[in-house]
Structure 1
Amino acid sequence: MTDVPPRKRPDPAEVRAAVLAVADWLGDESAPAPSRPALAAAVRLTARTLEHLAPGNSVEVRVPPFVAVQCIEGPRHTRGTPPNVVETSPRTWLLMVTGLLTYDAALGAGELDASGHRADLVAGLLPLVPLGPGASRTE
């Protein structure tokens, strides 16, 4: 089996624009839901940003139905279910990515599944595109 070449790092401006396109919905769940393509873009671009920020294969981050990426250096996983998995919904992922919800709060509320001793390392990498209080919405 040959290694797949790494994906190109997402453009930070494109990532921020994709997140801003869904920001109203993230801030107010009663706001109109974003289109599926807009939601998919925000989820995929932020997950791929994480993949580039923390390259590796020891933790798999899953945000069904849009993306699964491997990140964080450590033991490489090649077959079957990975031992270190973080899985959540698109909205919860984006709330964590923007700092509007912490990893620990999502985990405590049952909105995030994390397994394996390395899964929690993802928490230290978030937020990726801060939108919380005091964060600038433009860069």
Structure 2
Amino acid sequence: MAVIREQDIDKGRDAWRRWADAARAQRDAGTDALDVRPDLPRPMWAMAVRYTLHLLERKAPGPGVEVRVAPWGAVKILDGPESDPHNLTPPDVVELDPDVWLRVAAGITAWDDERDAGRIGAIGERDDLGWLLPL
């Protein structure tokens, strides 16, 4: 199932642009990059997350790593072993909160910085997606 509906792609692109602009303005105003969290409506956050997960899925398709950004979406990316047919969970899973995901997707923070701050949960050998980011 797609993380974003085709008819919502333009809304997602706009939400992503607005989130990234607000995040950069917040950072430029002196907020520490790891604390950037724009005060925008929840539906805008949801669309930005879904749209960026869609971009990630297109950039690195495959069944090997599941990227989860609860509560708004999850995608499977990269080549590799597929999900176990009994539980549908791939061997590699990465979980991020929406603010962490959007910061690394926008290049506000680096993957290593968020991971070192303990804000990325990862299981498996392919837990470093920094080389795919920013989008």
| Same fold by TM-score greater than 0.5 | yes
Give matches, 1:1-139, under 5 Å: 16-27=13-24, 28=26, 33-78=39-84, 79-80=86-87, 81-120=89-128, 122-128=129-135
Q: Percent identity?
A: 40
Query: What does residue 131 of structure 1 align with?
Result: none
Which protein, 1 or 2, shows the higher relative CO under an 8 Å CA cutoff with sep ≥ 6? 2
Give the 4+ runs in structure 1 shifted more than 6 A.
4-13
Matched residue of 1:117: which SS? coil
State the TM-score, normalizing by the size of structure 2: 0.77
What's the CA shift for 1:22?
A: 1.5
**Alpha-carbon distance between aligned partners in 2 of 1:82 and 1:19, rounded to the nearest angstrom:** 28
**Alpha-carbon distance between aligned partners in 2 of 1:26 and 1:101, rounded to the nearest angstrom:** 11
Does the CA contact (< 8 Å) of 1:107 and 1:114 recur in 2? no
Whichever structure has more helix as a proportion of its residues is 2
State the TM-score, normalizing by the size of structure 1: 0.75
Q: CA RMSD in A?
A: 2.8
| Amino acid across the alignment from 2:18 | A
Structure 2 gaps of 5+ residues are 27-34
**Alpha-carbon distance between aligned partners in 2 of 1:20 and 1:118, rounded to the nearest angstrom:** 29
Whichever structure has more strand as a proportion of its residues is 2
Number of aligned residue pairs: 124
What's the CA shift for 1:15?
A: 5.0
Structure 1 gaps of 5+ residues are 129-139
Moved more, 20-29 or 103-112: 20-29
Structure 1 residues 15 and 32 mapped into 2: Cα distance closer, same or farther (>3 Å)? closer
Does the CA contact (< 8 Å) of 1:61 and 1:85 recur in 2? yes
Post-superposition CA distance 1:30-76 (Å, at most 9, x none)? 77621111100100000011111111010000000000110001111
